[in-house]
Every structure is written in structure tokens, then in C-alpha cells.
Amino acid sequence: MAILNKLALGALMLGTAFGTSSTFAADQTITTVVKLAGETWFTRMEQGVKEYGEKTEGVAATQVGPGKADAAQQERLIEDLIAKKVDAIAVVPFDPPMLEGVLKRAMDRGIKVMTHEANNLKNTMVDMEAFDNAAFGAHFNDQLAKCMGEKGTWTSFVGSLGSLTHVQWADASAANAEAKYPGMKLVSPKNESFNDANTAYNKTKELLKKYPDLKGIEGGSAVDPIGIGRAIEEAGLTGKICVYGIGMPKDTSRWLQSGAVTGISLWDPKDAGFVMNKIAKMLIDGQEFKDGMDLGVPGYTNMQLKQGPGKGIILTGQAWIDVNKDNLDKYDF
Amino acid sequence: MSDFTWGNSTSEGAAWPKRIVAWLVRHPPAFTLILIVLVSVIVGAISPEFWQISNIFDMARASVVTGMFGLGFLMILAAGGIDMSFTAIAALVMYWITTAVAAYMPSMPMPLILLMAAAGGTLLGVCNGLLVHYLRAPALIVTIGTQYVIRGFLLTFIGTELFVNVPTSIESFGKYELWQVETDSGSIAVLPAYVLVLVVAAIVTWWILNRTLMGRAIFAIGGNSSIAERLGYDLRKVHVFIFAYAGLLAGVAGMLHVSSNRLANPFDLSGSELGVIAAVVLGGARITGGSGTVIGTILGVILVTLVNNVLILAGIPSSWQTFVVGCFIILAGTVFASRERT
């Protein structure tokens, strides 16, 4: 892993050096602005950004991000890009409403703007979402149902009842089970883990006491499966209870390998980075976006087009990937 | 609540209910114990699954980190101070030491790691103590400040990522078993050995507070610091000592958290300080300082842990749980306050 990290870091440094020097050579510059530089998630995204730049003639694609997860620093980075007059920026906003002003200025200067994970943002031309939250929640539930044999007691976790996406997933899961699997019984739904694996652990133990016949658990926060998995492994119930949730492959790998966590789902930031740049390039070229269009990356082959809150549009894919014991080694993040 | 007829309940020849009340007033921890029994009986009646040996194990395990924090807070409160920074100290120490050990010396034995955590926590605590003493500002505001500084430092300079490659020595320490039982439903319940760390910490804290000159100085300053100073107690020494001790316990608590959790998350533990303060106060210590016992604090910690870990058993929906905990704290707090008015 250390070697991989070093490789990624080296590639990153090379990439930045390359990016700036080739700015003059390339016709078009697309810069991706992420929430936090150096974070595993965005390091993986950078691979996709660079891959797009290498595969596409006449495009210099680079990625930048603040050293600290901070909306003001992200705003300053975008100001710099406006001054440099890049052709397009692709942003993963830390706090979308905070960037409304600076993104409007960018568009006024003729810079193409596309965003990711910001479907409430007004000043963007295209916002790209990897998937629809309700569909993602239903997908969790379908996996869980298959593992449980479509019957038995199950429950769900959320980071907190204030985490909008978590609650959307949990509610969509519950609705899916009610509509499709009459044999499944939901008990004590939406337990709050407060994004703390230890709380998820404690609550799982309590749930196991209260419902000794528990057969399935869904985690909503990325640390939930870790805490749930530990509780199950410690209780000697590995393999007897199905656990699905969102998670990072590397962080969850031990629990996936032991079988205490059955599977996790997520979207691959590398694919997202690639698609973001592809959309930015289409904006530069003035291409039209159509409902159901194919962006050439698995999960992004049938983009749903929707009007956004501003003048821009929202494109939604079905780009979740399911990671389990068998395909775990394919994901190095 | 503060029925005035109970006001002179300590007088000779009072009827037995009055005597019981009077005894409770003099022994606040007994009151905490009664609340624990009451909660257990009620939850046990609602949900018979409560009565399991594994439940006691789980409570004990869940009490350890809160208990360590509580003992440190008690020490500071007894001297009339307050501390809001202990969770930040624990988070910084646990994350920094865990990542550093993993990177540079993954085979370091656990006793050494715990020693490092204790030293790191103590150092941060000494800073707290010196700041509180020399700035002459309220400990509350100073430690809120240091909490932000420490957390900010951790997230800016040390890291923001979940760290899962915890060194084996830390991990296996959390797995040592004191006792293991199999439950009726076929699952296994384990009492981890690290609960002993809390037992040791409780004994040491009791000893400092009740058997040393430092303990006497702490309560004297907590009672009235200007009189204590005129009596010759060294304020600076006491301030530095109590914050250093609380820092030490916080550092060790952070390491125990990593060890049981098998991961280090820099965002963990933040926000848990209010539960700790509630536990210490529900254990009979006055929030204004100068009082409090170790046994009361431990009972208070058990009470708060209990209430937090039976909500699902009692069948309370997720969205109502924090509401119920809040009501319970108000209720228990009111009863405690009425005790002081009698």
C-alpha cells in the first residue's frame, strides 16, 4: 500500500508539473477543483482526471484542491483559475451555496462551469450526480434481501437523522422492502451512529440483544459497517447476519474479508473525475446534452437529464459499484 | 420537591422516611445508585432481554472511556475549575500516537504506547493548567479555547482521515478477555480486560483526593480559593496538577478508545464532553465545585451509560432517543438540586 501511495503521490507531482507546463501546448485547459487535496478519495479522483487528459487530444486536465477542507480556500482557488483564464472548471464544492458568487463570476468571464455533488447549486451549467439517492437506497435493500433470502428481521443505521442523504437511503430502503419483500420485517429503523464506529458497535450489540433473530443490517455512514462488523464478529455471528452499507474498500477490507460485512457500495471517484472532465469538454465544444445519453463509462451510460435549481441541468447516472470479498482487490482506495 | 417540612429532617426523633431522606442528602451517590436500580427495573420490565450477563459486560465496556474522562473532570471540578478540552486532548493523543507508531515503530509494546499517551495528555494538561493560572481567566473559557486549538491543530497538521491500520499491539490489547460467556441466542459476550484500567484510575483518583495533601488542597481551593490561598495552599501547583492529571487520564482514555475500536478517527469523541459533565454532576458533585466523590462519579458514569444504552431495548424510536435522554437528565438534575435546598 505504501508503494501505491508513493506512486500516486509521484504521479500527482508529475501531473501538476506537466499540467502547468503543457498549458501553453494544449488548446484547452480543464481544471478540477476538489474539496481537499491529498485525501484518499480525491487522490483516486485525480487518476480519472489525468486519464481523461491523456486520452483526449488537445486537453490539459489537472486537479487542484485546498490543503484544508474549507469553503473559503476553495473559493480562492477558483478566483485564481478565473485570473488564469482556464477554459473550464469542474468543481466538487465543499459547501455549494458558498461558491455561488465565484462560480457566477467565472461564467460571466466565459469559463465553462460544471459541478459534482451539488444539485442545490444555482450557478452551474451542468451538475453531475453519480446516482439518484432513492435508487441507491433501494439498491442496498435489494442486495440485503437477496442475502437474507427475502425474509427475516432487519434494521438500518444513519450517520445522524440530520444527514439528508443517509436518511434518503434508509427511507428508500424501507420503502423498497415494503413494496417488494413482504417477508422482511424492519425493526427500530434509522439508528444514529453519529459517524462514530464505536457508537455503531454499541448500538449493534443492543440491537442483537433486543432482536436475537436479527438477520440484516444496513449502514448509512461510511464508518457504520466497520462498527457493525466488529460487533458481529465479536458476538461470533459472522456470516449469520447480512451487513451492507456505504464504505471505503480499504477501510472496510478487513471486515469484508472476514465476512462480518457482506458488502459495501460506493461510487468510484476515478470514474467520476473522468466523467466530470468529459462533460466539461462537451461544454467547451458546445455539445448538446440529451436525456439518456451515454458518456462511455460504466454506470454513466444512461444519464438522466433534469432541470437544476438555476439555469443549468442535472445529469444523474447509475454509477454505484458493489464491493465484496471477491472483487475487493480491484480497489486500491 | 424541596418540601420545607423536610428542612430540619436531621433533627432528632424524625420519622423514618425523613431519616432516609436525610441520609440520602448526606450520601448523594446512594441516590445515583437508586436511579440506576430504577432505570434497570423499568427497562427490565419493558424488555426482559435487559437481564443478561452480556448486558453488564457491554455497560462496563461502554463506561470505560466516559469513566476516565469523568474521573479527570471530577478532580478539576473538586478544585472549583471546569474543563472542556479533555475530548480534544484524547483525540489528538490517540490519533497522533497511533499513526506515528504505525509509521515508525509498529512493533512498539502496548505499555510503552500507553505511557506515551499518558505523557502526551499530561503535557497538554499542564499547558491548560498554566494558562488557567496565569491568564486568570475562567477555566471554562480557557479550555473551550484550548479545545479549539487542539482540534484545529489535529485536523490541520496531523490528519483528517480514518486510520485503520492500527498497530497489532494496540489492537490485541483491546482484545484481551477477562471473561467470556455464551448467551442463550448463541452469541458470545466478552468482558474486555481494559476495564481494569478504569478500576486502577478510580483507585488512584480516590487515593489522591482522600489520602494526600494534594487532595486536601484541591477541596480547600474548590471550597474557597482566596481563603485557601491565605492558608498557604499553592494555587499554581494545584491548578497545574489537576489539569495535568485530567490530561493524563484523557490521553490514556484516547488510547483505550483506539484499542477497543481498532481504528483511529480524528473526529471521534468530540461532543461527548457534555455527557461526561452530566455523569459527574449526576454522581453528586456540585457543578460549582468543592465537592464530589469517586464512587459517585463512577455511579454517575454508569447511570449515563445505562440510559444511553437501553433506549433501543426500551423500544424508543431513533428520533425520540436524544429527547428522552435530555428529559432524563433534567429530571435527575432537578431531584439532585432539590437535595441541596433541603
Give the Cα separation of A231 and B41 in Å (integer). 26
Contact: A39, B55; criterion CB under 8 Å:
no
Write down the pLDDT at residue B14: 57
Residue A190's pLDDT band (cuts 50, 70, 90)? very high
- Residues 31-70 in B contacting A (C-alpha not used; CB under 8 Å): 47, 49-50, 52, 54-55, 58, 62
Whether residue A192 is predicted with pLDDT greater than 80 in this model: the reply is yes
Mean pLDDT of chain B: 90
Write down the pLDDT at residue A43: 87
**A333 inside domain:** no
Whether residue B56 is predicted with pLDDT greater than 70 in this model: the reply is yes
Residue A26's pLDDT band (cuts 50, 70, 90)? low
Residue A2's pLDDT band (cuts 50, 70, 90)? very low
**One domain, residues A276 and A241:** no
Give the Cα separation of A18 and A20 in Å (integer). 6
Contact indicator for A248, A333 with CB cutoff of 8 Å: yes
**One domain, residues A74 and A160:** no
Q: Taking residues B267-280, what's their average pLDDT?
A: 92
Residue B286's pLDDT band (cuts 50, 70, 90)? confident
Alpha helical stretches, state H, chain A? 2-21, 40-55, 71-84, 100-108, 133-148, 164-180, 197-210, 224-234, 249-258, 269-284
**A241 inside domain:** yes
- The sign of the dihedral angle between the CA atoms of A183, A188, A192, A196 is negative
**Bigger pLDDT: A68 or A41?**
A41
Write down the pLDDT at residue B283: 92
Q: Does residue A190 belong to the interface with chain B, where contact is any CB pair within 8 Å?
A: yes
**One domain, residues A138 and A257:** yes
In chain B, what percentage of residues exceed pLDDT 70?
95
Neighbours of A286 (CB within 10 A): 7
β-bridge partners, A32: A63, A90
Q: What is the DSSP string of B63-120?
A: HHHHHHHHHHHHHHHHTT---S-HHHHHHHHHHHHHHHHHHH-TT--HHHHHHHHHHH
**One domain, residues A307 and A214:** no
Write down the pLDDT at residue B262: 93
Write down the pLDDT at residue A236: 92
Give pTM, 2 decimals: 0.84
Interior CA angle at B298 toward B297 and B299, to 5°? 90
Q: Taking residues A15-27, what's their average pLDDT?
A: 48
β-bridge partners, B184: none
ipTM score:
0.87
pLDDT digits (tens, 9 = 90+) for A43-55: 899 999 999 999 9
Pick B49's closest partner by Cβ from A161, A190, A210.
A210
Whether residue A7 is predicted with pLDDT greater than 90 in this model: the reply is no
Write down the pLDDT at residue A298: 92
**One domain, residues A274 and A247:** no
pLDDT digits (tens, 9 = 90+) for B104-119: 999 999 999 999 999 9
Residue B341's pLDDT band (cuts 50, 70, 90)? low
B297, amino acid identity: T
pLDDT digits (tens, 9 = 90+) for B187-245: 888 999 999 999 999 999 999 999 999 999 999 999 998 999 999 999 999 999 999 99
Contact indicator for B53, B181 with CB cutoff of 8 Å: yes
Q: Taking residues A164-188, what's their average pLDDT?
A: 95
**A312 inside domain:** yes
Whether residue A14 is predicted with pLDDT greater than 80 in this model: the reply is no
Q: Taking residues B266-290, what's their average pLDDT?
A: 90
**One domain, residues A241 and A139:** yes
Q: Taking residues A266-274, what's their average pLDDT?
A: 94
Q: Which domain holds residue A197?
A: 133-266
**A13 inside domain:** yes
- Measured between beta carbons, the chain A residues lying within 8 angstroms of B261 are 197-198, 201, 227, 230
CATH number at residue A181: 3.40.50.2300
Write down the pLDDT at residue A333: 85
- Measured between beta carbons, the chain B residues lying within 8 angstroms of A201 are 261
- Which contiguous run of DSSP H or E holds residue A31? strand A28-33
Q: Which residue has the cell 489535529?
A: B154
Give the Cα separation of A154 and A228 in Å (integer). 13
**A62 inside domain:** yes
In chain B, what percentage of residues exceed pLDDT 90?
74
Cell of A157: 443505521
Whether residue B258 is predicted with pLDDT greater than 60 in this model: the reply is yes
Give the Cα separation of B136 and A254 in Å (integer). 50
| Nearest chain A Cα distance for residue B335, angstroms | 29
Q: How far is CA B238 from CA A290, B99, B166, in A?
A: 72, 33, 36
What number of CA atoms fall less than 13 Å from residue A51's CA on the CB side? 15
Residue B160's pLDDT band (cuts 50, 70, 90)? confident
Write down the pLDDT at residue A6: 46
Burial of A13 (0-12, 13-18, 19+ CB in 10 A): exposed
| Nearest chain B Cα distance for residue A237, angstroms | 6
**Bigger pLDDT: A17 or B174?**
B174
Q: Which residue has the cell 478510580?
A: B202
Domain B48-309: CATH architecture, name and number where available:
Orthogonal Bundle (1.10)
Going by C-alpha positions, the residue among A330, A319, A327, A304 that lies closest to residue A268 is: A319
**One domain, residues A139 and A120:** no
**A37 inside domain:** yes
Residue B339's pLDDT band (cuts 50, 70, 90)? low
**One domain, residues A60 and A155:** no
For helices B53-78 and B273-282, give the axis angle rounded to 10 degrees. Answer: 90
pLDDT digits (tens, 9 = 90+) for B6-21: 444 444 555 788 887 7
**A234 inside domain:** yes
Which of B156, B191, B318 is best to mutate for the A interface (most A CBs within 10 A)? B318
Looking at the 3D structure of chain A, how many domains does it have? Answer: 2
Assign A234 to helix, strand or coil.
Answer: helix
Domains of chain B, residue spans: 48-309
Mean pLDDT of chain A: 90
User: What letter would DSSP give residue B50?
Assistant: G
Burial of B166 (0-12, 13-18, 19+ CB in 10 A): buried
**One domain, residues A281 and A180:** no
Write down the pLDDT at residue B161: 84
Contact: B312, A208; criterion CB under 8 Å:
no
Q: What is the DSSP string of B128-159?
A: HHHHHHHH---HHHHHHHHHHHHHHHIIIII-
**One domain, residues A89 and A140:** no
Neighbours of B61 (CB within 10 A): 23
Cell of B257: 478508545
**A80 inside domain:** yes
Which of A186, A198, A246, A257 is best to mutate for the B interface (most B CBs within 10 A)? A198
Q: Taking residues A104-126, what's their average pLDDT?
A: 94
